[in-house]
Amino acid sequence: MSSNGTPLIQARDLVKRFGDFVAVDAIDFDLQRGEAFGFLGPNGAGKTSTMRMIGCVSPVTDGSLTIFGLDPAREGVKIRGRLGVVPQQDTLDMELTVRENIVIYGRYFGLGRKELGKRADELLDFVELTERANDKVEPLSGGMKRRLTIARSLVNEPEVLLLDEPTTGLDPQARHVVWDRLYRLKRQGVTLLLTTHYMDEAEQLCDRLVVMDRGKIVAEGSPRGLIEQYSTREVVELRFEDGNRPDDLGYWTEGIVDRVEALPDRVLLYAHDGDAASHQLHERGLTPESVLVRRSSLEDVFLHLTGRSLIE
């Protein structure tokens, strides 16, 4: 993460209300040039509302928000010219070709056709859609459409790329292709601001992230830092057969693990050394149906902070 002075985006006590509903509840954050910053949270946490305010298509209810030091209420035109937006729902035109979608979109930014022709070729190459350049968008797969949306959002060479749930709805393979492209952008120095409810996405892409829940920021840090702060190194996942789960888990695990989290389908035990912990439990005579030892993830951080899973 390189921080050189003034943040590109700065929010202080930022609030978004829809009638009585508070979607974003007085959040503070800074986005520095060159970093990949994420909003992690479940659906309804206020991530998209925040993104729309940054994209200058949703008026700020209260608090302050500056983007490139500018006020979105008055300088929306200037700000949007310097942003790239990958919305949650694709806004591609199904009837136009892949290439036309990029060129027309670039025209919205006032770019010349000749220049756009060149950029469209480069961008299609970057997202590996060159072969589909003259096909209509409609029959493309979900992953291809997503890649096209990303290519399109780069047409104005944005200083910040806003990605609202970039891989939601994609199959695992398509997600990895998208992640790979975003990772390359990051290496090229493009500042990324993304929302996600996938902890692995946040871990893969973000240098720094905030965890959002019900409109509030409940934690902030690097993925590793958050895990270290709010979770143990490893987690033991226990599953029991129906009716066999002991009621007094606290008694069984006393002195072996740091914390116990009982979910409807499984029990999570937080420990520095998962193998050692599960061994000790076995010695005490606890016999779950299955035992899985894994490294702690952001999911565990979220669970610890909110008492709920990310994807419900």
- How near is the Cβ of 29 to other proteins at its closest, in Å? 21
Shorter beta-carbon distance to other proteins: residue 49 or 231: 49
- How near is the Cβ of 77 to other proteins at its closest, in Å? 5
- How near is the Cβ of 28 to other proteins at its closest, in Å? 23
- How near is the Cβ of 54 to other proteins at its closest, in Å? 11
- Do 167 and 175 meet the contact criterion of CB atoms below 8 Å apart? yes
Cα–Cα distances (Å) from 101 to 79, 104, 116, in that order, read 22, 6, 11
Shorter beta-carbon distance to other proteins: residue 111 or 276: 111
Shorter beta-carbon distance to other proteins: residue 97 or 309: 97
**CA-to-CA distance for 15 and 218, rounded, in angstroms?**
15
Shorter beta-carbon distance to other proteins: residue 156 or 306: 156
Residue with tokens 């240098």: 207
- How near is the Cβ of 237 to other proteins at its closest, in Å? 41
SS3 content of the chain, % helix, strand, coil (to 5): 35, 25, 35
**CA-to-CA distance for 224 and 208, rounded, in angstroms?**
9
Q: What are phi and psi of 237, to 5 degrees?
A: -100, 120
| Chain contacts with other proteins (rule: CB under 8 A) | 18, 52, 55, 57-59, 76-78, 80-81, 83, 85, 87, 89-96, 100, 104-105, 107-110, 153, 156
- How near is the Cβ of 202 to other proteins at its closest, in Å? 23
Shorter beta-carbon distance to other proteins: residue 60 or 205: 60
- Joined tokens for residue 12: 């202080």
**CA-to-CA distance for 280 and 259, rounded, in angstroms?**
15
Shorter beta-carbon distance to other proteins: residue 103 or 174: 103
Cα–Cα distances (Å) from 306 to 185, 219, 230, 261, in that order, read 32, 10, 11, 12
